[in-house]
Amino acid sequence: MEKTELLYEGKAKKIWKTSDTNLLISEFKDDLTAFNGGLKSSEEGKGALNNKISTELFKLLNEKGVQTHFVEMLDDNHMLHKACEVILIEVIVRNIATGSLSKNLGIEHGTVLPFTLVEFDYKNDALGDPKLNDQHCLILNLVKNEDELYEIRRMARKINDILKPYFFEKGLKLVDFKLEFGRDKNGAIILIDEISPDNCRFWDIESGESLDKDRFRQGKGGLKVAYENVLNRILG
């Protein structure tokens, strides 16, 4: 399967059409952005690491009954996946307070939450990805009805229930992560985009060290080594 026409370019990926209208190719980029594009850089090899990590996690989730857009990894930087209608909601799943949750609500950094928190952000760069409640989602026609919101939350919690113990066994705390969903050709809601250290927070259980994009956000360096560490733990 080959790329034909560039359909979309985002911060971390280019999306390409193929000769099959039901299939697209994601090209994982080495670009790094943070704070809604206010901080930018690049790290050679980052895109390939995210592609490999996402591939393994999509395979795991598919095996566990979570429907995803993943078809196959074509090479280091390219993934073949189903074409979907993107739902413009970023779904944030939180197990431990940090980042914007601590900043905005005053919950102490590192506090283990009494239950898994699922939040919605509007996938809109021009508006700065603002927070959404259910009524916002309906008013903006981001979902067709309340049943879709229920399904998105249900899937997000199921994914967390699979990934949280999976990473714990590999010596990592899954602090929080971002998910995106879409509708396949039959209208079913499925997981799309990627699952990688770009959109997950991983803390080493023993040291508390961040092994994710916070290394870039906080100017710590060692980002590629951290991502390689995560991939190596996944591969065993």
Lowest model confidence (mean pLDDT) among 1-10, 19-28, 34-43, 166-175:
34-43
Per-residue pLDDT at 5: 97
C-alpha to C-alpha distance for 35 and 236, rounded to whole angstroms: 33
Within this chain, domains 6-82 and 85-222 share the same CATH topology: no
Cβ contact 200:194 at 8 Å: no
- pLDDT, one tens digit per residue, over 127-171 is 999 999 999 999 999 999 999 999 999 999 999 999 999 999 999
pLDDT of residue 1: 84
Give the CA distances from residue 173 to residues 54, 61, 213, in Å, rounded to whole numbers and listed in that order.
17, 18, 15
Q: With bands split at pLDDT 50, 70 and 90, how would you rate the model's confidence at 38? A: confident
**Helices H / strands E in the chain, number of each:** 6, 14
Q: pLDDT class for 186, splitting at 50, 70, 90?
A: very high
Tell me the pLDDT of the chain averaged across its residues. Answer: 96
* Among 98, 115, 65, 85, residue whose Cα is nearest residue 180: 85
Burial class (CB in 10 A: 0-12, 13-18, 19+), 156: buried
Q: Are 137 and 124 in contact (CB under 8 A)?
A: no
- Quickly name the fold that domain 6-82 has: Phosphorylase Kinase; domain 1 (3.30.200)
- What does the pLDDT read at residue 154? 98
3-state DSSP call for residue 39? strand
> What are the residue boundaries of the structural domains of the chain, listed by start?
6-82, 85-222
Q: Decide if pLDDT at 11 tops 80.
A: yes
The CB-side HSE value for 171 (13 A sphere, CA atoms) comes to 14
Tell me the pLDDT tens digit for each residue of 75-134.
999 999 999 999 999 999 999 999 999 999 999 999 999 999 999 999 999 999 999 999
Specify the CATH number of the domain 85-222.
3.30.470.20
